[in-house]
């Protein structure tokens, strides 16, 4: 296995039911595909208002999913990444419930942000209007704390109460979370929503100087415990470049829309521009538990006057192309059509975003696997899953269209589909081939490109055409299965599958 094998992103309950079930699946039907796994929130409870991102107890695994010993056993087989939800806690947490009862008399009162904590002299209209928002409206909810009505800071939903990282009681809480994860063998931390932690009067309260200080403090805590940190931030592409200089890993959130643009518009030039400047310490994704990011390639209020990787007209065309490719199902799940919406994302499975075209999908995945970084594949994407409109209608939550609950019978059936079997072969190549420890080069023109890895006598090369949705993959070296080179086309892979 090379040094940067693929990782799986998955909910425990929606894939295998328990942590032990996930481990068994990795060791059997998914053997050889992944060297790591990002377990989406499995804390107590895993099925709250925000699919686990609002735990009432972040230091305890939900007993319905397993035990810390189960996580420790999994970490003995693969690199395990877990979320540290930095910005907020559940409204149902013991600490916040104590503040609700006792107000300022609670020892946890300073842990939670209210409007006047950030604006002690009061907030003007301009102060409130400039706050950077992931969703419509102001980030406050009226709540009664100790018998007094207060404006509590709730960036995402009224079920998620923002914490004040200016206070040591908040840091005591975060240290307890990190220690619980370290004790279970977790070696990678994903900092969720950390960009919103640095609320400062006179700023837009996003990615401020305070945010950087908080991130560096968490980074030091993680490194002391032998852990690495992945920062999750959506914003202008230049911000990702800047942030990457000071943390272990950042997401390549620009890659998913740029690959879709290439496939729909037959235009690789924006991707070529990105490959020329993107940081190397990236986690590459096409899909995650959230939507397909658009802000990551466009203009942004965070960087006024600085162009994006795609022009506004190209972004509009891309969004419409995704909606058309999905038969309109992504439109049902995106924007004002669905609750818990994000302003900067399209909710859609990646397979539906390319029109459920096996050839286009495998090409998209190959581009992801060939680009430098650690590739992560979302569980729905692993199975080339379709939009779950039934789940969307049942919950009214847009992102649920890409959060299907798989039964064991469904998993068995999906793994026998040609496109899924072909993807499994590509993942095993990416996990094992020594060329990926070498040097990367890219040659991209309008609709055609070459991506290449070379390490000593080992080579993996992808020659592709996004207009024809075709490619030839060439791999050499003993780990390719023979000393001579092996060539596979998209049709070869699908036929073998």
**Distances 254 to 272, 295, 298, 434 between C-alpha atoms, Å:** 12, 9, 9, 27
Q: Look up the CATH number of the domain holding residue 287.
A: 3.20.20.80
Percent of the chain with pLDDT over 70: 97
Mean pLDDT of 441-469: 97
Read off the pLDDT band of 116 (50, 70, 90).
Answer: very high
| In-domain check, residue 1 | no
Q: What is the pLDDT of residue 334?
A: 85
| In-domain check, residue 2 | no
Read off the pLDDT band of 65 (50, 70, 90).
Answer: very high
331 and 428 share one domain: yes
Which tens digits make up the pLDDT trace of 154-167? 999 999 999 999 99
141 and 175 share one domain: no
Q: What is the pLDDT of residue 300?
A: 83
| Residue 181 counted as an annotated binding residue | no
Q: Above 80 in pLDDT, residue 484?
A: no
252 and 344 share one domain: yes
416 counts as catalytic: no
| Residue 29 counted as an annotated binding residue | no
Percent of the chain with pLDDT over 90: 87
27 and 130 share one domain: no
Q: Single out the residue of 235, 248, 217, 338 nearest to residue 295, CA to CA.
A: 235
Mean pLDDT of 110-129: 95
Mean pLDDT of 306-333: 94
End-to-end CA distance of the chain: 23
Q: Look up the CATH number of the domain holding residue 139.
A: 3.90.400.10
Mean pLDDT of 133-139: 85
- Residue where one domain finishes, among candidates 380, 402, 434: 434
| Residue 11 counted as an annotated binding residue | no
Q: Above 70 in pLDDT, residue 337?
A: no
Q: How many CB atoms lie within 10 A of CB 155?
A: 24
Q: What is the pLDDT of residue 478?
A: 53
Q: Above 70 in pLDDT, residue 338?
A: no
| Residue 343 counted as an annotated binding residue | yes
142 and 23 share one domain: no
Query: Mean pLDDT score of the chain, rounded to an integer?
Result: 94
| In-domain check, residue 448 | yes
**Distances 283 to 8, 273, 321, 462 between C-alpha atoms, Å:** 11, 18, 26, 20
Q: Single out the residue of 54, 123, 38 nearest to residue 93, CA to CA.
A: 54
Q: What is the pLDDT of residue 482?
A: 46
Q: What is the pLDDT of residue 339?
A: 42
- Residue where one domain finishes, among candidates 162, 179, 211: 162
| Residue 127 counted as an annotated binding residue | no
Q: What is the 3-state secondary structure (H, E, C) of the chain?
A: CCCCCCEEEECHHHHCCCHHHHHHHHHCCCCCCCCEEEECCCEECCCCCCCCCCCCEEEEECCCCCCHHHHHHHHCCCEEEEEEECCEEECCCHHHHHHHHHHHHCCCHHHECEHHHHCCCCCCHHHHHCCCCCCCCCCEEEEEECCEEEEEECCCCCCEEEECCCCHHHHHHHHHHHHHHHHCCCCEEEEECHHHCCCCCCCCCCCCHHHHHHHHHHHHHHHHCCCEEEECCCCCHHHHHHHHCCCCEEEECCHHHHHHHHHHHCCCHHHHHHHHHCCCCEEECCCCCCCEECHHHCCCCCCCCCCCCCCHHHHHHHHHHHHHHCCCHHHHHCHHHCECCCCCEECCCHHHHCCCCHHHHHHHHHHHHHCCCEEEEEHHHHCCCCCCHHHHHHHCEHHHHHCCCCCHHHHHHHHCCHHHHHHHHHHHHHHHCHHHHCEEEEEECCCEEEEEEEECCEEEEEEEECCCCEEEEEECCHHHCCCCCEEEEHHHHHHHC
| In-domain check, residue 291 | yes
| Residue 192 counted as an annotated binding residue | yes
Q: What is the pLDDT of residue 460?
A: 97
198 and 347 share one domain: yes
CB contact at 8 A, 381 and 292: no
Number of folded domains that form the chain? 3
**Structural domain boundaries, residue 480:** 437-496
| Residue 473 counted as an annotated binding residue | no
Q: How many CB atoms lie within 10 A of CB 468?
A: 13
245 and 329 share one domain: yes
Q: What is the pLDDT of residue 336?
A: 60
Mean pLDDT of 15-37: 97
232 counts as catalytic: yes
Lowest mean per-residue pLDDT among 31-40, 94-103, 287-296: 287-296
| In-domain check, residue 11 | yes
Q: How many whole angstroms separate alpha carbon 76 and alpha carbon 178?
A: 18
| In-domain check, residue 224 | yes
Q: Which of 62, 232, 400, 461 is labelled catalytic?
A: 232
Q: Is 225 left (phi over 0), alpha (psi -120 to 50) or beta?
A: alpha
353 and 465 share one domain: no
Mean pLDDT of 263-267: 98
| In-domain check, residue 143 | yes
| Residue 399 counted as an annotated binding residue | yes
CB contact at 8 A, 317 and 298: no
Mean pLDDT of 13-40: 97
| In-domain check, residue 147 | yes
Which tens digits make up the pLDDT trace of 232-255? 988 899 989 999 999 999 999 999
Q: What is the pLDDT of residue 335?
A: 74
Q: How many whole angstroms separate alpha carbon 3 and alpha carbon 431?
A: 8
Which tens digits make up the pLDDT trace of 275-286? 999 999 999 999
CB contact at 8 A, 284 and 275: no
229 and 313 share one domain: yes
Q: Single out the residue of 471, 467, 427 nearest to residue 450, CA to CA.
A: 471
Q: What is the pLDDT of residue 481?
A: 47
Read off the pLDDT band of 483 (50, 70, 90).
Answer: low
Q: Which of 13, 57, 162, 192 is labelled catalytic?
A: 192
50 and 110 share one domain: no
Choice between 397 and 72, residue whose per-residue pLDDT is larger: 72
Q: How many whole angstroms separate alpha carbon 417 and alpha carbon 414?
A: 5
Lowest mean per-residue pLDDT among 180-194, 323-337, 340-354, 375-389: 340-354
424 and 460 share one domain: no
Mean pLDDT of 455-470: 96
Q: Above 70 in pLDDT, residue 174?
A: yes
Question: Based on the number of CB atoms within 10 Å of its own CB, is 416 exposed (0-12), middle (13-18) or buried (19 or more)?
Answer: exposed
Lowest mean per-residue pLDDT among 20-34, 310-324, 332-346: 332-346
Q: Above 70 in pLDDT, residue 98?
A: yes
Residue where the block lists tokens 């009214």: 396
Whole-number CA gyration radius for the chain:
22
**Distances 326 to 149, 225, 266, 353, 460 between C-alpha atoms, Å:** 45, 44, 18, 6, 32
51 and 132 share one domain: no
Which tens digits make up the pLDDT trace of 177-189? 999 999 999 999 9
Mean pLDDT of 334-343: 54
Q: Above 50 in pLDDT, residue 210?
A: yes
| Residue 469 counted as an annotated binding residue | no
């Amino acid at each position: 296995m090379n040094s940067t094998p693929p990782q799986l992103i998955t909910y425990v309950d929606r894939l295998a039911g328990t942590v032990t079930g996930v481990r068994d699946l990795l060791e059997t039907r998914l053997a050889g595909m992944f060297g790591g796994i990002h377990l989406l929130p499995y804390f107590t409870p895993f099925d709250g208002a925000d699919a686990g991102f609002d735990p009432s107890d972040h230091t305890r695994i939900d007993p319905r999913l397993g035990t810390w010993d189960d996580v420790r056993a999994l970490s003995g087989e693969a690199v395990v990444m877990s979320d540290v939800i930095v910005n907020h806690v559940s409204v149902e947490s013991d600490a916040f419930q104590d503040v609700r009862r006792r107000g300022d008399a609670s020892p946890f009162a300073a842990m939670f942000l209210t409007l006047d904590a950030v604006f002690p002299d009061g907030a003007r209209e301009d102060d409130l209007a400039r706050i950077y928002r992931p969703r419509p409206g102001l980030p406050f909810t009226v709540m009664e704390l100790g018998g007094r009505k207060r404006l509590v800071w709730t960036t995402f939903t009224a079920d998620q109460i923002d914490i004040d990282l200016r206070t040591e009681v908040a840091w005591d809480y975060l240290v307890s979370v990190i220690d619980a994860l370290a004790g279970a063998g977790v070696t990678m931390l994903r900092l969720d929503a950390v960009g919103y932690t640095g609320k400062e009067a006179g700023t837009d309260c996003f990615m401020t100087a305070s945010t950087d200080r908080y991130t560096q403090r968490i980074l030091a805590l993680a490194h002391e415990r032998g852990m690495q940190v992945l920062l999750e931030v959506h914003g202008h592409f230049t911000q990702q470049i800047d942030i990457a200089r000071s943390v272990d890993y950042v997401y390549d959130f620009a890659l998913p829309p740029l690959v879709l643009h290439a496939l729909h518009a037959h235009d690789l030039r924006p991707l070529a521009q990105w490959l020329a400047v993107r940081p190397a310490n990236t986690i590459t994704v096409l899909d995650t538990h959230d939507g397909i990011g658009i802000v990551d390639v466009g203009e942004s209020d965070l960087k006024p006057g600085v162009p994006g990787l795609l022009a506004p007209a190209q972004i509009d065309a891309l969004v419409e192309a995704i909606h058309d490719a999905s038969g309109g199902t992504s439109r049902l799940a995106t924007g004002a059509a669905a609750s818990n919406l994000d302003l900067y994302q399209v909710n859609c499975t990646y397979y539906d975003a390319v029109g459920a075209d096996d050839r286009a999908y495998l090409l998209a995945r190959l581009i992801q696997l060939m680009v430098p970084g650690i590739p992560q594949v979302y569980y729905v994407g692993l199975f080339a899953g379709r939009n779950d409109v039934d789940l969307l209608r049942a919950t009214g939550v847009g992102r649920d269209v890409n959060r299907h609950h798989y039964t064991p019978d469904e998993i068995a059936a999906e793994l026998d589909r040609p496109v899924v079997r072909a993807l499994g072969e590509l993942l095993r190549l990416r996990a094992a081939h020594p060329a990926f420890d070498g040097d990367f080069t890219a040659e991209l023109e309008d609709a055609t490109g070459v991506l290449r890895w070379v390490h000593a006598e080992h080579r993996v090369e992808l020659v592709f055409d996004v207009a024809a949705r075709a490619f030839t993959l060439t791999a050499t070296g003993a780990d390719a299965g023979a000393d001579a080179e092996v060539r596979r086309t998209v049709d070869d892979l699908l036929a073998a599958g």
